[in-house]
């Protein structure tokens, strides 16, 4: 039985607690939050859990094996480093920390203390992202050309981070995971309308090796909720619409082929035009298993605690996400000038 504690029970914490309760391998010892009202609501629903207001009560208890950190991002490093030092495994809500320096320290601490450090990039554990990873890995799309995401809605403004730090981690994490690559360069543009210091609309471009482009539109000021990702490839193309109740992923047997001349260069002019061939074929929507991703996150974390294996979304994965976020911030200040990683 893995003895756990959940620190932070704002929006995400209660979901974690519910999933931990459904896991026969885990036991929830503590729930910790500075907000008394929230704590007591948890206490009413889960009478056997200890509710505490001070994280030190949790970290100081040697009978706690693993800690789930679901607090505001600026506290991640403080809480996670203390927990790791106290010999606990740690699962942190995304993003890992508020700086790549802090992220690197956490990675080092986890290594030193031989503890699991995992970031809850929940989307990686959805059936949709798992299916996309499979399709891309098997080469079904051919050479991947671009990955384009739109993630917009009327957003919950956060006082501590901008829209790139709020919504961007999802897309960066998914793109790096599905493509199996990390970007070399980042260009980002953004604007701050509601608050002068915080971008609420932004566009982030990731230059992966070759001509592979990632582009993410993140926006807190959109009237409709859109969660859509396009992946274009040389053989097929894929559309992921996460708002759809079913048929979230559609694979299109669609493409463009350019035939080359004997000397290896494409032709010019009229002749050239005739050498480009379009292909529009069937579309299919693979069946996706209907499982809550967070239950898979919890289960995978417990697996890693038990077996010592490296999590899918380990500290290194979380660090790569933060590097892109930092580069995006720099590029936005320069109106889109590219920043190398």
Please state, in angstroms and as integers, the Cα–Cα distance from residue 49 to each residue in 20, 56, 284, following that order.
Answer: 12, 16, 47
Taking the C-alpha atoms of residue 163 and residue 312, their distance in angstroms, rounded to an integer, is 25
Q: How many residues bind its own copies (CB under 8 A)?
A: 80
Q: How far from each other are the two terminal CA atoms of the chain, in whole angstroms? A: 42
Q: Which residues, in sequence order, are bridge partners of residue 244?
A: none
Can you list the alpha helix ranges (DSSP code H) found in 114-239?
Answer: 127-137, 163-179
Contact positions with its own copies (CB under 8 A) in 91-130: none
Nearer Cβ to its own copies (192/310): 192
Residue 86 or 213 with smaller CB distance to its own copies = 213
Site for its own copies in 141-200 (CB under 8 A): 145-146, 148, 150, 152, 154, 157-159, 185, 187, 189-196, 200
Minimum separation from the CB atom of position 193 to its own copies (A): 4
DSSP SS3 for 135: helix
Min CB(76)–its own copies separation in Å: 17
Shortest Å distance, C-beta 225 to its own copies: 7
**Residue 259 C-beta: closest distance to its own copies, Å:** 11
Sheet holding 249-258, edge to edge: 249-258, 237-241, 221-233, 144-154, 213-219, 201-207, 185-191, 339-340
Distance CA 140, CA 182 (A): 21
CB nearer to its own copies: give 108 or 286. Answer: 286
DSSP symbols for 74-125: GGHHHHHHHHHHTT-EEEEESSS-SSHHHHHHHHHHHHHHT--EEEE-GGGG
User: Least separation, in Å, of the C-beta of 311 and its own copies?
Assistant: 27
Looking at residues 265 to 304 of the shown chain, list those that interact with its own copies (rule: CB under 8 A): 266, 268-270, 272-273, 276, 278, 280-287
34 near its own copies, rule: CB under 8 A? no
Contact segment (CB under 8 A) with its own copies among 4-12, 45-53, 102-110, 116-124 equals 45-53
CB atoms within 10 A of CB 262: 5
Q: What is the DSSP string of 233-274?
A: ESS-EEEEETTSSS--EEEEEEEEEEPPPTTSS---HHHHHH
Q: Residue 110: CB partners within 8 Å, gap ≥ 6?
A: 84, 90, 116, 117, 315
Query: What are the CB-based long-range contacts (under 8 Å, 24+) for 107-112?
Result: 107/315, 107/316, 107/319, 109/81, 109/84, 109/85, 110/84, 110/315
Considering beta carbons, is residue 168 or 190 the nearer one to its own copies? 190
- Using the rule CB under 8 A, is 140 a contact of its own copies? no
- 212-271 positions binding its own copies, by CB under 8 A: 212-213, 215, 217, 219-225, 230, 232, 234, 236-239, 243, 245-247, 250, 252-254, 256, 258, 266, 268-270
Of the two residues 76 and 217, which places its CB atom closer to its own copies in the complex?
217
Shorter beta-carbon distance to its own copies: residue 72 or 105: 72
Tokens 């010999």 belong to 87
The distance of closest approach from Cβ of residue 298 to its own copies in the complex, given in angstroms and rounded to an integer, is 16
- Chain residues 55-84 in contact with its own copies, contact rule CB under 8 A: none
Which CB sits closer to its own copies, 2 or 150? 150
| Residue 107 vs 218, nearer CB to its own copies | 218
Q: What residues numbered 318-337 form the site for its own copies, per CB under 8 A?
A: 331, 334-337
For residue 53, the SS3 value is coil
Binding-site member from 1, 44, 63, 263 for its own copies (CB under 8 A): 44
Nearer to its own copies, 59 or 135 (CB): 135
The one among 77, 123, 165, 203 contacting its own copies by CB under 8 A:
203
């Amino acid at each position: 039985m893995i003895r756990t504690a959940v620190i932070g029970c704002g929006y995400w914490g209660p979901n974690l607690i519910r999933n931990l309760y459904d896991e026969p391998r885990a036991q929830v010892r503590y729930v910790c939050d500075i907000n008394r009202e929230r704590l007591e609501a948890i206490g009413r629903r889960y009478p056997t859990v200890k509710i505490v207001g001070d994280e030190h009560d949790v970290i100081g208890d040697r009978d706690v094996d693993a800690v789930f950190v679901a607090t505001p991002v600026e506290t991640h490093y403080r809480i996670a480093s203390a927990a790791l030092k106290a010999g606990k495994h740690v699962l942190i809500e995304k993003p890992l920390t508020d700086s790549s320096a802090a992220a690197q320290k956490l990675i080092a601490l986890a290594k030193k203390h031989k503890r699991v450090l995992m970031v809850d990039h929940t989307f990686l554990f959805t059936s949709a992202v798992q299916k996309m990873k499979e399709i891309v890995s098997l080469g079904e799309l051919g050479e991947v050309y671009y990955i384009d995401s739109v993630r917009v809605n009327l957003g919950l403004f956060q006082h501590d981070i901008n829209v790139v730090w709020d919504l961007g981690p999802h897309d960066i994490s998914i793109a790096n995971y599905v493509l199996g690559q990390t970007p070399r360069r980042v260009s980002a543009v953004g604007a701050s309308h509601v608050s002068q210091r915080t971008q609420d609309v932004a566009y982030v471009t990731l230059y992966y090796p070759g001509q592979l482009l990632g582009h993410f539109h993140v926006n807190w000021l959109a009237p409709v909720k859109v969660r859509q990702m396009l992946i274009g490839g040389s053989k097929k193309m894929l559309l992921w619409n996460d708002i759809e109740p079913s048929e979230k992923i559609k694979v299109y047997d669609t493409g463009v082929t350019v035939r080359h001349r004997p000397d290896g260069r494409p032709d010019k002019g009229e002749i050239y035009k005739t050498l480009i061939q379009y292909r529009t074929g069937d579309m299919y929507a693979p069946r996706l298993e209907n499982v809550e991703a967070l239950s898979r996150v919890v289960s995978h974390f417990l697996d890693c605690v038990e077996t010592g294996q490296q999590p899918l979304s380990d500290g290194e994965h979380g660090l790569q996400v933060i590097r892109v976020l930092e580069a995006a911030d720099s590029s936005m200040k320069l109106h889109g000038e590219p920043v190398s990683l």
